[in-house]
Amino acid sequence: MSKKMLGVAVIGAGMAGRAHAAGYRMATTMYGTDLPDIRLVAIADSYEPFATDAAKRYGFDRAETSWQAIVDAPDIDVVSVVVANALHREVVEALLAAGKHVLCEKPLAPTVDDAKAMVAAAEASDRVAGVGFTYRRSPAINAIRQQLELGAIGGIRHFTGRYWCDYAQDPGAAMSWRYKGGPGSGVLADVGSHLVDLAEYLCGPITSVQGAVMETYTRERPVPRAATMGHSGGDVTGQTEPVENEDIATFTASFSNGALGTFSVSRVAHGHTNGLALDVLGEAGAAGFDLERPGEFSFAHGGQSDNNDGARRVLVGPSHPNVPGGQAMDYTSVGHGQNDFFAWQARAFLDQVAGLNNLPPLPPLSHGLHNMEILAAITESAHSEGRTVQVRQALP
Ligand SMILES: NC(=O)c1ccc[n+]([C@@H]2O[C@H](COP(=O)([O-])OP(=O)(O)OC[C@H]3O[C@@H](n4cnc5c(N)ncnc54)[C@H](O)[C@@H]3O)[C@@H](O)[C@H]2O)c1
């Protein structure tokens, strides 16, 4: 599509909505200068102070208090949907029907059926529709993926990953949408969705899951007095509401290439604020990533251990994906983090809408649906004493 100007909006001005807004603001500063003019048009949030703050902070022209205002706005072409998962389907369907290009946050939807309907809506539309698996933008993750594709560590035998957070560690932390929804909609959907996606991004399709268990430790949480953002609840009332989903989930998985996966996700992992880490272990080497050190990865390959053997630390730099042109100073060891992933994701989305093919496109909604199928299989396994559950829909 060639258009002289693209109008951008973000729906949801909470924790991740702000990261999307900041990402769009940065997006034109990186890579080529071949984008059409990008106009930062509107931020919508039902809580007006959040919308106004984000619009002002990130340089968007106006703040809105309803997502329908974005759907109806003729000056908006490109929209990020960054609200609670339960709202994703309704908002995405309305945006696509109105002819907007859509980037929807993960997990794609609250249920597999909702996700299927969203995929159908995207297929019936000629607009770009993608899901926000933001960690696919990590240079280190992509560098590891390149090595795996080259066969540098031989056949993959074992993927092991954990995503440990502590946002629910305090039983007094306020109730939010994250604690609502049935089993599987808790930490598994919230951060397990990322970990499962990364496992497949690196190691290929998961065909079945086994041995799932889930646990909830805090069963009631205090109701907040006002709107909450991310994990910061603010003041709470004396009332409580029930927590409806899991604090911890662990499971194993089988990949189509014969590798095994072991996974652990938690929102009550004391001291691990955003602890995503993974290792891929092959027959002739290994690679590892830790989000706390996003500008590096570990790599080991070659012969059997001797006195000086072991994984080495590889510093990410311009020889790795996304880095060249992706930062004002794109030099080795300058450093980057999760906010850069959002900016690179925003730029990839804008490129795609503009018909440019400079960056890997957004994962389509069908990848979000497949991810939901795996989360559903894990939940089913947990409900049937850990039995093996086949993943119903293959990775598209
Ligand atoms: N890709 C990532 O790394 C990443 C990180 C965090 C969150 N997320 C995803 O982003 C989404 C939002 O998460 P969050 O942490 O930003 O949540 P949040 O609670 O911080 O923000 C949600 C915002 O939506 C607003 N809102 C509620 N109802 C609304 C409505 N009807 N219309 C408009 N706005 C409304 C709330 O006022 C709030 O400001 C979720 O799907 C989450 O899974 C993704």
E strand spans, 205-284: 206-215, 220-224, 236-242, 248-255, 260-266, 275-282
Q: Both 131 and 144 in a single domain?
A: no
Give me the phi and psi of 249, to 5 degrees please: -145, 140
**Measured in angstroms, how far is the CA atom of residue 79 from the centroid of ligand 1?**
14
Residue 254 lies in a domain: yes
The SS3 assignment for 232 reads strand
Q: Both 110 and 164 in a single domain?
A: no
Give the count of domains, the chain.
Answer: 2
Q: Both 111 and 167 in a single domain?
A: no
User: Which range marks the domain in which residue 83 is found?
Assistant: 5-135
**Measured in angstroms, how far is the CA atom of residue 35 from the centroid of ligand 1?**
28
Q: Facing residues of 312 across strands?
A: 299
Q: Both 23 and 105 in a single domain?
A: yes
Tokens at 245, concatenated: 């989903």
Indicate the residue type of 373.
E
Tokens at 175, concatenated: 């109730």
The SS3 assignment for 294 reads coil
On whether the CB atoms of residues 131 and 16 are closer than 8 A, the answer is no
Q: Both 178 and 104 in a single domain?
A: no
pLDDT digits (tens, 9 = 90+) for 194-219: 999 999 999 999 999 999 999 999 99
Q: Both 146 and 48 in a single domain?
A: no
**Measured in angstroms, how far is the CA atom of residue 80 from the centroid of ligand 1?**
11
Lowest mean pLDDT among 46-60, 224-238, 251-265, 377-391: 224-238
Residue 99 lies in a domain: yes
Q: What is the pLDDT of residue 1?
A: 46
Residue 395 lies in a domain: no
Running DSSP on this structure, what letter comes out for residue 229? B
pLDDT at residue 307 greater than cutoff 80: no
**Measured in angstroms, how far is the CA atom of residue 309 from the centroid of ligand 1?**
45
Average the pLDDT over 46-73 and give the result: 98
**Measured in angstroms, how far is the CA atom of residue 69 from the centroid of ligand 1?**
17
pLDDT at residue 52 greater than cutoff 80: yes
How far apart (Å, rounded) are the C-alpha atoms in residues 338 and 320? Answer: 16
**Measured in angstroms, how far is the CA atom of residue 380 from the centroid of ligand 1?**
26
Q: Both 129 and 153 in a single domain?
A: no
Residue 79 lies in a domain: yes
Looking from the CA of residue 227, the nearest atom of ligand 1 is 37
Task: Please tell me the pTM assigned to this model.
Answer: 0.97
Name which of 226, 222, 105, 110 is nearest 168 in CA terms: 222
Looking from the CA of residue 18, the nearest atom of ligand 1 is 16
Strand-strand pairing, 37-44 and 5-11:
parallel
Strand-strand pairing, 285-290 and 206-215:
unpaired
**Measured in angstroms, how far is the CA atom of residue 234 from the centroid of ligand 1?**
16
Q: Both 130 and 214 in a single domain?
A: no
Q: Which of 85, 104, 135 lies at the terminal end of a domain, its last residue? A: 135
Q: What is the pLDDT of residue 229?
A: 81
Other CB atoms within a 10 A radius of the CB of residue 56 amount to 11
pLDDT digits (tens, 9 = 90+) for 236-259: 888 999 999 999 999 999 999 999
Lowest mean pLDDT among 34-43, 287-296, 310-319, 345-354: 310-319
Q: What is the pLDDT of residue 226?
A: 80
Structure confidence at residue 371 as a pLDDT band (50, 70, 90): very high
Residue 348 lies in a domain: no
For residue 312, give Cα distances in angstroms to 288, 293, 294, 315.
Answer: 10, 14, 15, 10
For residue 65, give Cα distances in angstroms to 10, 51, 101, 381, 382.
Answer: 12, 7, 20, 41, 39
Tokens at 265, concatenated: 């996700």
- Which protein residue's CA is at the shortest distance from atom 4 of ligand 1? 16
Q: What is the pLDDT of residue 230?
A: 81
Other CB atoms within a 10 A radius of the CB of residue 220 amount to 13
How far apart (Å, rounded) are the C-alpha atoms in residues 60 and 135? Answer: 25
- Which protein residue's CA is at the shortest distance from atom 5 of ligand 1? 16
Residue 136 C-beta-side C-alpha neighbours within 13 Å: 23
CATH number at residue 254: 3.30.360.10
Strand-strand pairing, 37-44 and 62-64:
parallel
Average the pLDDT over 345-367 and give the result: 96
Q: Both 64 and 165 in a single domain?
A: no
Residue 344 lies in a domain: no
Q: Which of 103, 135, 167 lies at the terminal end of a domain, its last residue? A: 135
Residue among 67, 83, 95, 267 to mutate when testing ligand 1 (max atoms within 8 A of CB) = 83
Pocket of ligand 1 (CB under 6 A): 11-17, 44-47, 50, 67, 82-85, 87, 105-106, 132, 134, 176, 190, 227-230
Q: Both 256 and 378 in a single domain?
A: yes
Per DSSP, the residues of 317-386 read: -TTSTT-TTTSSS--TTS---HHHHHHHHHHHHHHHHTT--SSPPPPBHHHHHHHHHHHHHHHHHHHTTT
Q: Which of 78, 110, 135 lies at the terminal end of a domain, its last residue? A: 135
Q: Both 159 and 97 in a single domain?
A: no
CATH number at residue 112: 3.40.50.720
Residue 362 lies in a domain: no
Q: Both 324 and 180 in a single domain?
A: yes
On whether the CB atoms of residues 354 and 3 are closer than 8 A, the answer is yes
Residue among 48, 57, 81, 82 to mutate when testing ligand 1 (max atoms within 8 A of CB) = 82
Residue 163 lies in a domain: yes
Name which of 395, 391, 389, 396 is nearest 373 in CA terms: 391
Tokens at 257, concatenated: 């290439």
